Amino acid sequence: MRKRWTLEEVSILKENYGKLSYKDISKLIPNRAIGQIRDKSVYDGLTNGNPYKMMSLARKKYSVDLNYFLVPNLENSYWAGFIAADGCILSKGNYITIQIQESDRNHLEKFAKCISYDGIITKSIRERNDKMYEYCAISINSDQSTISDLENNFNITQRKTYTLKPPSDLDESCRLSYIMGYIDGDGWVKKRVHSGSNRNDILCEVGACGTKDVLKYIKQHFDQLASSTQKKYAKVCSVKNNKSYRYSIGSNRAKKIIDIFTKLDVPYLKRKWDK
């Protein structure tokens, strides 16, 4: 019996049709053969009845600054950190993809403006833990030089989830910008009023998840910027039953980091830092 297509599978197909080949889309939908994906594309009217129209759609032109990451600066270092945390690099086809929750669409619009991208921002619905969530995404078909710039300047490569290394040759302001972008992609900033206290007593926490190397890089900068009044410093810890790591600081150290980072002139995620 042929299995019905799920909403998530259809969403992935529509999101990537015309951007990736049938073969690459099949990697995102592992339970579907290439033939099934092609047939579904025809059935849903993506090809206007011609399954080979994929080629012409894939070559659709849009503007984008291919030299955006050529020379590190405050702005592109922020976005490099965000891509390092929450982006995807496909060297085959030279694709750079960022997918985030739909409620943060304006953040992708900021990225599009910075990189002079006038293509579409797609929307999709995916199921997670029996709930449906809306996402938006940008998928840019760049060229090899852009992929190389991300690797040479920021150590961002494909299949980076468990192998990501921090950048090595950035100046101090760009390093902080990169870290802020990384936290916006795969970290957290928490603020809450201490129970039973006045409104001025705010408890803060700043942290991130990722590879051990990247989190040690973040820890090094946090320790320099906001030294601890205690003898012991927070450590990078492994996540149980996972290959990733986590690191966070709290109290006055976190307050100082928030104060320093929010003074950076970068398009940071305001709902995370300014709440």
According to the model, what pLDDT value does residue 1 have? 54
* Domain 74-161 matches domain 186-273 at the CATH topology level: yes
pLDDT of residue 48: 53
Domain ranges of the chain: 7-58, 74-161, 186-273
pLDDT band at 170 (very low <50, low <70, confident <90, very high): very high
Q: Pick from 179, 216, 208: which is nearest to 81 by CA?
A: 179
pLDDT at 122: 86
Residue with the bigger pLDDT between 89 and 92: it is 89
Helices 7-16 and 34-43, packing angle to 10 deg: 80
How large is the average pLDDT for residues 33-37?
Answer: 87
Strand ranges for 194-244 from DSSP E: 202-210, 237-238
How many angstroms separate the Cα of 109 from the Cα of each of 26, 121, 147?
28, 8, 21
At residue 25, does pLDDT exceed 60? yes
Q: Is the pLDDT of residue 107 over 50?
A: yes
Q: What is the pLDDT of residues 214-271, one digit of tens each?
A: 999 999 999 999 988 776 788 999 998 788 999 999 989 999 999 999 999 999 999 9
Residue 55: pLDDT band with limits 50, 70, 90: very low
CATH topology of domain 74-161: Endonuclease I-creI (3.10.28)
- DSSP class of 194: P
Confidence of residue 82 (pLDDT cuts 50, 70, 90): very high
* CATH topology for the 186-273 domain: Endonuclease I-creI (3.10.28)
Tell me the pLDDT band of 159, cut-offs 50, 70 and 90. confident
